């Protein structure tokens, strides 16, 4: 079971980071109001095709409302980018990135550029030609469509997290094989990386979420060599220091963290240190810095994606379940009741996919792995129905 889990792990993760990124963008959108008039089913709509199948890519919402997907493993996709335009519902290829990478992070900066950081490197036959963890970074400039080199991180990182701070800097955490307790901050003005104080715990395959007060919560993951942890800590962005807070009730990696509109953070699923797939979810309250168990999901999952919807609910999609299969199942968490309910399933099974909240509040899932069929090519959009 354990070696299987390790293998699965390699086949997963970035979803966690991407979810955090899309959640952060989503939380900037005002919360919508429920309409009680119409009963309409939520639904997933296929929205064109990627040029090639892709998994372990990264995705971000660009300030112009387009979705940028970059890198990943698939059919010659590791240095490519594609853009989805919600107004034309069309995908177009961008210029190629400088580097071929997967399990990297993608963070939309306040200056409109998108920061691509780290990941796993490969040359055109990526799976057969792994070159290892990367410190290289590049910027995508939406206004010109160009990729621009920028300074490297101080540490090579993969399965790290990248979180946009209030001041526009980006906090990158963990993911290093030899310095997993390090974190560093990117300043878009200077295009420079500065190491910040070390984490209290080593972390890889952890999750991160920005709180409403601008601090960053990181939880779980693995230390070295390979112990799943429940520890949580907070980054104070004003002092650049870390503080341990109460541990989660469960050890988790390949879980997600989502900032809710009430300021609490929802930790969902993942795998524990017995390699059990978790259906448990729990809430972090920043006012007490403690965790409370909330509703269990209908199905356990890891390598899923989680997105905050405009109605305040959280959509989780896909992942791998306890049968070892990739899932097309989706569920909704209602913070008002603390309960999970099933919603319509995606058309395709996916794990380690990306989920990006669009400007209108819809959620676009892209790529991902189906353990039976490989990388996915068909993106889908979840539209919020009035009865959610
Ligand atoms: C969609 O993109 C293709 C190129 O990939 C282009 O030829 C076509 O005109 C676009 N369609 C729309 C509706 O923008
Ligand atoms: C969650 O998973 C545990 C362990 O597999 C199981 O005993 C429990 O019934 C599940 N809970 C729900 C609500 O499905």
Convert the pLDDT of each residue in 101-119 to its tens digit: 999 999 999 999 999 999 9
The closest residue, in CA terms, to atom 7 on ligand 1 is 92
Contact 204, 159 (CB under 8 A): yes
Q: Output 125 or 290, whichever has higher pLDDT.
A: 290
Which of 161 and 10 is assigned the larger pLDDT? 161
Please answer whether residues 210 and 164 qualify as being in contact, where contact means their C-beta atoms are separated by less than 8 angstroms.
Answer: yes
Mutate which of 90, 94, 95, 145 for ligand 1? The one with the most ligand atoms within 8 Å of its CB, which is 90
User: Is the distance from the beta carbon of residue 60 to the nearest atom of ligand 2 less than 6 Å?
Assistant: no
User: Given ligand 1 and candidates 47, 88, 91, 145, which is best to mutate, with the most ligand atoms within 8 Å of its CB?
Assistant: 88
Residue nearest to atom 13 of ligand 1 (CA): 88
Strand-pair category, 354-357 with 216-219:
unpaired
- Better-scored residue on pLDDT, 11 or 89: 89
Q: Are 159 and 58 in contact (CB under 8 A)?
A: no
How many angstroms does the Cα of residue 298 sit away from the middle of ligand 2?
8
Please tell me the number of the ligand nearest to residue 86's CA: 1
Centre of ligand 1 from the C-alpha of residue 49, in Å:
12
Q: Is the CB of 296 under 6 A from ligand 2?
A: yes
For the domain 50-152, what is the CATH code? 2.120.10.60
Tokens describing residue 360: 């209108």
Name the more confident of 198 and 34.
198
pTM for the full predicted model: 0.88
- The owner of tokens 């539209």 is 383
Residue 238 C-alpha to ligand 1 middle, in angstroms?
Answer: 45
- The pLDDT of residue 143: 87
- Residue closest to 369 by CA, chosen among 335, 320, 299: 320
% of the chain exceeding 70 in pLDDT: 86
Q: Which of 92, 93, 94, 145 to mutate to test the pocket of ligand 1 (most atoms within 8 A of CB)?
A: 92
- Ligand number nearest to the C-alpha of 50: 1
| Statement: residue 10 has pLDDT above 80 | no
Tell the residue number behind the tokens 């919807």, with chain if given: 309
Q: What is the pLDDT of residue 28?
A: 30
d(CA 254, CA 268) in angstroms, rounded, equals: 9
pLDDT band, residue 286 (cuts 50/70/90): very high
- Could you tell me the pLDDT band of residue 123, with boundaries at 50, 70 and 90? low
Residues framing ligand 1 (Cβ under 6 A) = 88, 90, 92
Taking the CA of 90 as reference, the closest ligand is 1
Q: Is the pLDDT of residue 14 over 70?
A: no
CB-count burial class (<10 Å; 0-12, 13-18, 19+) for 64: middle
The structure tokens 């049968």 sit at 323
pLDDT for residue 131: 63
Q: Is 351 in the pocket of ligand 2 (CB under 6 A)?
A: no
Does residue 6 have a pLDDT over 80?
A: no
Q: Give the mutation target among 279, 293, 302, 323 for probing the ligand 2 site: most ligand atoms within 8 A of CB.
A: 279
Q: What is the reported pLDDT for 114?
A: 98
Nearest-CA residue for ligand 2 atom 13 is 296
Answer yes or no: is pLDDT of 300 > 90.
yes
Nearest ligand (C-alpha, residue 88): 1
Q: Distance between CA 18 and CA 21 in Å, rounded?
A: 5
Cα of 280 to ligand 2 centre, how many Å? 8
The pLDDT of residue 71: 96
- Ligand 1, atom 8: closest residue by C-alpha: 90
Q: Provide mean pLDDT across the span 251-267.
A: 98
Cα 120 to ligand 2 centroid, rounded to whole Å = 35
The region of weakest confidence among 13-27, 79-93, 206-220 is 13-27
User: Which band of pLDDT confidence, cut at 50, 70 and 90, is reported for residue 42?
Assistant: low
Pairing assessment for the beta strands 105-108 and 113-117 based on DSSP bridges: antiparallel
Determine the average pLDDT of the residues in 279-293.
Answer: 98
Domain boundaries, the chain: 50-152, 305-387
Pairing of strands 265-268, 256-259: antiparallel
pLDDT computed for residue 323 by the predictor: 95
Query: Percent of the chain having pLDDT more than 90?
Result: 81
- Name the closest ligand to CA 331: 2
Choose one of 252, 300, 316 to mutate for the ligand 2 pocket test, by most ligand atoms within 8 angstroms of C-beta: 300
Distance 69 CA to ligand 1 centre (A): 17
Q: What is the pLDDT averaged over residues 275-297?
A: 98
The CA angle 253-379-138, to the nearest 5 degrees, is 65
Span 71-95, pLDDT tens digits: 999 988 899 999 999 999 999 999 9
Residue 348's CB is within 10 A of a number of other CB atoms, namely: 21
In short, whether 246's Cβ falls inside 6 Å of ligand 2 is no
């Amino acid at each position: 079971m354990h070696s299987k889990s390790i293998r699965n792990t390699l086949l997963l993760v970035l979803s966690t980071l991407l979810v955090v990124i899309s959640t952060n963008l989503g939380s900037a959108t005002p919360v919508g109001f429920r309409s009680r008039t119409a009963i309409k089913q939520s639904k997933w709509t296929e929205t064109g095709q990627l040029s090639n199948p892709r998994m372990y890519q990264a995705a971000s919402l660009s300030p112009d409302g387009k979705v940028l997907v970059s890198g990943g493993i698939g059919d010659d996709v590791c240095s490519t980018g594609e853009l989805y335009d919600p107004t034309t519902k069309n995908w177009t290829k961008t210029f190629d990135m400088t580097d071929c990478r997967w399990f990297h992070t993608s963070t939309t900066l306040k200056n409109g550029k998108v920061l691509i950081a780290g990941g796993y490197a490969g040359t055109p036959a990526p799976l057969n030609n792994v070159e290892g963890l990367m410190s290289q970074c590049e910027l995508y400039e939406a206004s010109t469509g160009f990729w621009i080199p920028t300074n490297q991180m101080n540490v090579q990182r993969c399965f790290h997290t990248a979180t946009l701070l209030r001041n526009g800097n980006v906090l990158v955490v963990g993911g290093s094989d030899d310095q997993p307790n390090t974190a560093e901050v990117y300043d878009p003005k200077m295009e420079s990386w500065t190491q910040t104080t070390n984490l209290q715990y080593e972390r890889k395959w952890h999750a991160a979420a920005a709180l409403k007060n601008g601090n960053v919560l990181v939880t779980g993951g693995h230390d070295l060599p390979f112990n799943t942890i429940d520890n949580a800590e907070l980054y104070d962005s004003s002092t650049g220091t870390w503080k341990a807070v109460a541990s989660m009730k469960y050890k988790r990696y390949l879980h997600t963290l989502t900032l809710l509109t009430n300021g609490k953070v929802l930790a969902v699923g993942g795998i524990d240190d017995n390699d059990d797939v978790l259906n448990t979810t729990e809430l972090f309250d920043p006012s007490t810095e403690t965790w409370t168990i909330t509703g269990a999901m209908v199905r356990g999952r890891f390598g899923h994606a989680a997105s905050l919807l405009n109605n305040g609910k959280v959509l989780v999609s896909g992942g791998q379940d306890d049968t070892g299969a990739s899932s097309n199942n989706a569920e909704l968490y209602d913070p008002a009741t603390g309960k999970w309910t099933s919603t319509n399933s995606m058309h395709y099974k996916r794990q380690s996919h990306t989920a990006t909240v669009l400007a209108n509040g819809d959620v676009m899932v892209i790529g991902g792995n189906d353990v039976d069929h490989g990388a996915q090519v068909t993106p889908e959009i979840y539209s919020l129905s009035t009865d959610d």
